[in-house]
Amino acid sequence: MSRLGPGAVWRALRDGGPGAAQERGIEQIISASMAGRRPKDWPPEALAALTDVESPRRMFAAAYRLQWALDTHRWDEALSLIQSVLARPEAQALADPGSLALMMAWLKASHSGPLGVGAARSWLADAGGRPAAPGLRELASAAIALAEGKTAQAATHAASGRAALHASGAENLWLEEALQDVEREARGRTPHTN
């Protein structure tokens, strides 16, 4: 719908045209976010509307679904969403490939067992020096170190990631919690649960 003029978008939404349900879902999620609601608390009907893969705003919908999957600890869904976003040609322009690669590294190291460490290192290398969200590179490095049993190194990376996130002024609650979880686990404490 983003290619249509404002009047055409309004008519398509009013008349239930293509992508109308997804557009309403996106608007509900934006409204919920502006009201301070976390992704895990977004309206279920809005999330259900974000599945139209042929919608012009499918990349935005996928990004919102990814935020929800991360905040609700649905790791397999998050992995699948990241892979599908990276596979789409328009992802390079709309998505943040460096951050997505680092998320993949973290998820592979944290949630794929011992075999995930090699894949995690590969994703970390793929991210290279590309720009990424503050704290994500440290999260990926911390998760890899933790998976390899290097607890002191993991705790240091996690603390560094939290410092980078705070210094940026960005508010990213799932990332903050993920960094805290790795640091807690590295120090022998129980990770946070949702």
Sequence ranges of the domains in the chain: 1-95, 97-194
Answer yes or no: is pLDDT of 19 > 80: no
Answer yes or no: is pLDDT of 164 > 80: yes
Tokens encoding 20: 């109308």
- First-to-last alpha carbon distance for the chain, in angstroms, is 35
Pairwise pLDDT comparison (91 vs 144), residue with the higher score: 144
Dist. CA 156–CA 159, nearest whole Å: 5
> What pLDDT is recorded for position 1?
41
pLDDT in tens, 96-136: 788 889 999 999 999 887 788 999 999 999 998 888 889 99
Element at 82 (helix H, strand E): helix 75-87
Contacts of 104 (CB under 8 A, 6+ apart): 79, 82, 83, 119, 120, 123
Residue with tokens 């992704």: 39
